[in-house]
Amino acid sequence: MNALREALVVLRRVCVTFAGGTGFIIVLAVLAFALFAPWIAPQDPDRLDVLHRFAGPSAEHWLGSDQLGRDLFSRIVFGASVAMAVALTAIAIALSTGTLLGVLAAFLPPRSERLILILFDVILSFPNLVLALAIVAVFGPSTTIVVAVAAITLAPNFGRVARAQTLTLRNAPFLEAERILGASGWRIVVHHVLPNILGPLIVLASMDIPIVITIEAGLSFLGLGVRPPLASWGVLIQDGYQFLSDSWIPVVVSSLTLAIATLGFTLFGESLRDAVDPRIGRER
């Protein structure tokens, strides 16, 4: 209950600023599209209507139709669920593994700690899309690989923050007291360390959402991520770009959707960071 009230206070602080408010509205819209896609979309996103390909915007097709006559607006709505499913799964995995490794690094002897840090450095030495290409080259393109790639490239960031936060806590008097009372290492981590380092990690997670959306869209645009006919925004942009000479509407509409969504999540994430603690994540 208390946590909920605190969250509402933070949310209000985010929404009073212009940037935060705009971001929040966009985030809500994308989430609504993602959750209620079958009810919001006016048509079946996969229904072909080859006679009316590249139709302009009309009452029937709000944003026109694509190269196979599929309704573009419906495909964009369903694209939101692909983007959100990929982003939230990848971030959940990155957050948990990264935090686990980061907290572990803080409590382990220096030699093992250094090993974990070098693992983080190795992953971060690949530009994320380049690592993605190397992995796709071996396993072939699929939605699962997109999620895995995004999770792997983002986990080190969570790990570093978790480690730094844990280090500041490690010798805190209340943990010392717990230890003297005989609490197990596990209990200390779960009940005392995690709740105290979670704030910055959640802010980082919200700031990573646009990054995952971009990775997914970029890979799908290259034809190396989410596979057609699944309506990912990257797939829509790729379709539109290939048929640019027939109509400019599909590529413009789908790229604008992606741009607005990433902008919205960035604005929201940054306002959230400023509302919680202005010092986190400034270097990125």
Residue 177 contacts another protein per CB under 8 A: no
Judged by beta carbon, residue 7 or residue 134, the one nearer another protein is 134
| By CB under 8 A, residue 277 contacts another protein | no
For residue 100, give both structure tokens.
């686990």
Nearer to another protein, 14 or 188 (CB): 14
Q: Which of 138, 173, 180, 182 binds another protein (CB under 8 A)?
A: 138
Told to check if 100 binds another protein by CB under 8 A, we report: no
Q: How far is the CB of 138 from another protein (least distance, A)?
A: 5
User: What DSSP assignment string belongs to the chain?
Assistant: -HHHHHHHHHHHHHHTSHHHHHHHHHHHHHHHHHHSHHHH-SS-TT---GGGTTPPS-SSSTT-B-TT--BHHHHHHHHHHHHHHHHHHHHHHHHHHHHHHHHHHHHS-HHHHHHHHHHHHHHHTS-HHHHHHHHHHHH-S-HHHHHHHHHHHHHHHHHHHHHHHHHHHHT-HHHHHHHHTT--HHHIIIIIIHHHHHHHHHHHHHHHHHHHHHHHHHHHHTTSSSPTTS--HHHHHHHHHHTTTT-SHHHHHHHHHHHHHHHHHHHHHHHHHHHH-TTTTTT-
- Answer yes or no whether residue 218 interacts with another protein by CB under 8 A: yes
> Among residues 182 and 278, whose Cβ is nearest to another protein?
278
CB nearer to another protein: pick between 128 and 143: 128
Q: Does 125 bind another protein (CB under 8 A)?
A: yes
In terms of CB distance, is 132 or 188 closer to another protein? Answer: 132
Please say whether the dihedral angle defined by the alpha carbons of residues 275, 278, 279 and 282, taken in this order, is positive or negative.
positive
Cβ 221 to another protein, closest distance in Å?
A: 6
The smaller minimum CB distance to another protein, of residues 11 and 263, is found at 263
Q: Which of 81, 89, 220, 262 binds another protein (CB under 8 A)?
A: 262
3 binds another protein (CB under 8 A): no
- By CB under 8 A, is residue 25 in contact with another protein? no
Could you give phi then psi for residue 71, rounded to 5 degrees? -70, 120
Task: Tell me, rounded to whole angstroms, the distance of Cα 255 from its chain centroid.
Answer: 18
Q: Is the Cβ of residue 127 or residue 185 nearer to another protein in the bound state?
A: 127
**d(C-alpha 155, C-alpha 148), whole Å:** 11
For the CB of residue 265, give the shortest distance to another protein in the complex, in Å.
8
Asked whether position 252 contacts another protein by CB under 8 A, the answer is yes
225 touches another protein by CB under 8 A: no
The reply to whether 126 sits near another protein by the rule CB under 8 A is: yes
Site string for another protein, 188-217 (x = CB under 8 A): ----------------------x---x--x
142 contact partners, CB below 8 Å, separation of at least 6: 227
Question: In the complex, which residues of this chain contact another protein (CB under 8 A)?
Answer: 18-19, 118-119, 121-123, 125-131, 133-139, 160, 164, 210, 214, 217-218, 221-224, 237, 241, 244, 248, 251-252, 255, 258-259, 262-263, 265-267, 270, 282-283
